[in-house]
Structure 1
Amino acid sequence: MKSSVKGLFYIAAVACAAAPYAVLPQAYPARSITVLSGASIGSGGDVAMRVVAAKMSEALGQPMVVEARRGAGGLEAYTAGARAEPNGYTITFVNSGLVTNRFMKKDMPVDALKDYAPISVLFSTAFFLAAHPSLPANNLKELLSYAKRNPGKVTFASTGIGSAAHLVGESLNSVAGTRMLHVPYAGKNTALAVNDLVGGRVDMYLASLSSLAQHAAAGKVKLIALVDSVRHRQQPHVATVNELLPGYYNIVVWWGFLGPVGLPRPIVDRLRGEALKVISDPAMAAKFDSVGVATVTHGGPEEFARIIRSDVENIGKVVNALGLKPE
């Protein structure tokens, strides 16, 4: 993900400008910390975050209390988090939908670039491009060649117009010069989309490994490519899109902690440090793998700010090219 150094430091500065560079109060945290979550309860990101919060509670000596607020697709949590007092006792668990919603929802109440102090990106989930066995392609090169010879014939499913998977498929069309047809499944109906893929009613589906692994192992679907910069350690034989298309921008789903603007840097560093200890612990790897998330341990608040800015820039280009309008 590329972004200018100047832009990176601008976000970091905005995140912390309202707070003096004070020494972390020795008493922090003196009481429980509320984690406002917009994640779907029981989703991979939600389960993994609760594991992290429980371990952080032990290290901090105070409970991290998760408060699920799924109203308006998580915007209720994101809005309350942005308006919280910047004292370290209310943080927000967000995912990359915060960026996508910037372009897909009218009157967006928060700005991902201006209303938060990045603390730590925690996890990511990359999309696998899975195909029905009848599709005459076993890798991305063969798929694109077939799609170019058959414009408008190959179909790909996603969980709705404007979803991350939809944007991935359309950006692949744009970069590769193909015309694969999008089949949206309303209500984020992953189960129905997978069933239709297995049944051959759609040619392809973009989804996480957790949604596809069982069917791939049984030979009911085949994994064509991974939308990420490096191969997945659980499926190392599946090549990435970047191996064939080096300039392709990978849209992945990420999750992380944000604080309100003005959150003092010492508190940011304390929370980031404790979160990093948990997601870096080898003993936790199997748990995170089981819910389909990969931990993101590189960088700190500045890296998280860079990811957000890069997504805003690149997802915005895809949305504008498609002519999608906020609703």
Structure 2
Amino acid sequence: MLSRSTSITRRLALAAALGLLTAPAFADAYPSRPIRLIHGFAAGGAADTLSRIVAEGLQKKFGQPVIVEAKPGAGGNIAADAVAKAAPDGYTLGLVTGAHAISAATYKSLSYQPVESFDMISTVVYYALVVAVRSDHPAKSLGDLIAMAKAKPGAISFGSVGFGSTHHLAGELLNAMAGIEMVHVPYRGDSQSLTALLGGEVPVIVATSVLLAPQIESGAVRGLAVTSPTRTALLPNIPSADEAGLKGFDVRTWAGLLAPKGTPPAIVEKLNTATREMLRDPDIRTRLETAIGGETRGSSPEEMKRLIGTEIAKWSALVDKARLPRI
């Protein structure tokens, strides 16, 4: 025998499908069951941590469980594909990062459209990366590193979390804007690239500020520049790349929420409102900002859509200029 709540849920779904419920009434009933929040990276990583904090915040707002599901692989593309193909009813959401836009620039083809296959909900956080060397490296500043790289083209390598990551393309943008030729060395994660730096495998890495802050504070690592246009609260003594001489350099990764294309506008609006209200919660905001060493920032669906479109154009132009292979 069906439970009363299950029976009500099925009747609501049937009524909505038949057009017997108006969109506002359907949105008023939402959510009536658990919501699934999918992300595309390993459990325990930054995206997973962000997803769990966001899930907790939305659960508090809606009074329904929000279940985090990791579908790692292909730079987040497996998870994005799963969201794109889910029922557009508001019960499957995705948390995507800056890698979502980068995939459009670095993959020859995708099984979904990074913009058109989704209804955007809101951005959640922005955060910068750090260009760093080991403390015994001769470069004391970003300017020093650039001068060394110019003197010996192709002799200096930099590590990142992997090909096609924001970290990787931040290094390639540094190459392009500074007129240098550092060689990219991909690793399987931020921690692995840091281990390689400390072990002397690579002289330079581009990594998250959260990962590097303790190493910088201990004196094991020297931060040469953060990739945001201004200094960050987590590393106030590290200059921005712009401040260090690369005018206009701006690489901030981000995370945001989206839903499958065709999700009822009233539900998208309800999710957007709940997300932006959640980001004003002091506890949630502090936890999110601490987790990634950045800042919380909500947006309208239209603003998030424009952000992704702008990022796709930016990274596509860089991939072409740097003649990077498309996967």
Q: What TM-score do you get using the length of structure 1 for normalisation? A: 0.84
Deviations 1:92-138 (A, max 9, x none): 12222222222333441011121111101112332100112233332
CA gap 1:45/1:233 in 2 versus in 1, 3 angstroms: same
1:97 equivalent among 90, 96, 99: 99
Offset of residue 167 of structure 1 = 1.3
CA RMSD of aligned residues (A): 2.2
2:29 equivalent among 27, 30, 41: 27
Aligned to 1:14: none
1:319 partnered with 2:310: no
- CA–CA separation in structure 2 for the residues paired with 1:118 and 1:103: 19
SS of the equivalent of 2:121 reads strand
Whether the 8 Å contact between 2:75 and 2:165 is mirrored in structure 1 is: no
Map 1:102-121; keep pairs closer than 5 Å.
Answer: 102-121=104-123
Offset of residue 214 of structure 1 = 2.1
1:245 partnered with 2:228: no
Map 1:167-246; keep pairs closer than 5 Å.
Answer: 167-185=169-187, 188-243=188-243, 244-246=245-247
Whether the 8 Å contact between 1:36 and 1:90 is mirrored in structure 2 is: yes
Determine what percentage of the aligned residue pairs are the same residue. 31
1:310 partnered with 2:310: yes
1:281 partnered with 2:242: no
Whether the 8 Å contact between 1:136 and 1:146 is mirrored in structure 2 is: no
- CA–CA separation in structure 2 for the residues paired with 1:197 and 1:73: 23
Deviations 1:11-55 (A, max 9, x none): xxxxxxxxxx95363212222222222232111221122122122
- CA–CA separation in structure 1 for the residues paired with 2:231 and 2:182: 24
Offset of residue 71 of structure 1 = 5.0
- Structure 2 residues without counterparts, runs of 5 or longer: 1-21
CA gap 1:85/1:285 in 2 versus in 1, 3 angstroms: closer
- Structure 1 residues without counterparts, runs of 5 or longer: 1-20
- CA–CA separation in structure 2 for the residues paired with 1:192 and 1:73: 16
Whether the 8 Å contact between 2:135 and 2:221 is mirrored in structure 1 is: yes
- CA–CA separation in structure 2 for the residues paired with 1:177 and 1:104: 22
2:294 maps to amino acid:
A
Highest Rg: 1 or 2?
2
1:160 partnered with 2:190: no
Offset of residue 265 of structure 1 = 2.7
- CA–CA separation in structure 2 for the residues paired with 1:221 and 1:123: 26
Aligned to 2:270: 270
CA gap 1:321/1:234 in 2 versus in 1, 3 angstroms: same
Aligned to 2:64: 62
Deviations 1:130-157 (A, max 9, x none): 1122333322233323332343333211
2:58 maps to amino acid:
M
1:76 equivalent among 68, 75, 78: 78
Count of residues in correspondence between the two structures: 304
SS of the equivalent of 2:29 reads coil
Offset of residue 207 of structure 1 = 0.1
SS of the equivalent of 2:242 reads helix
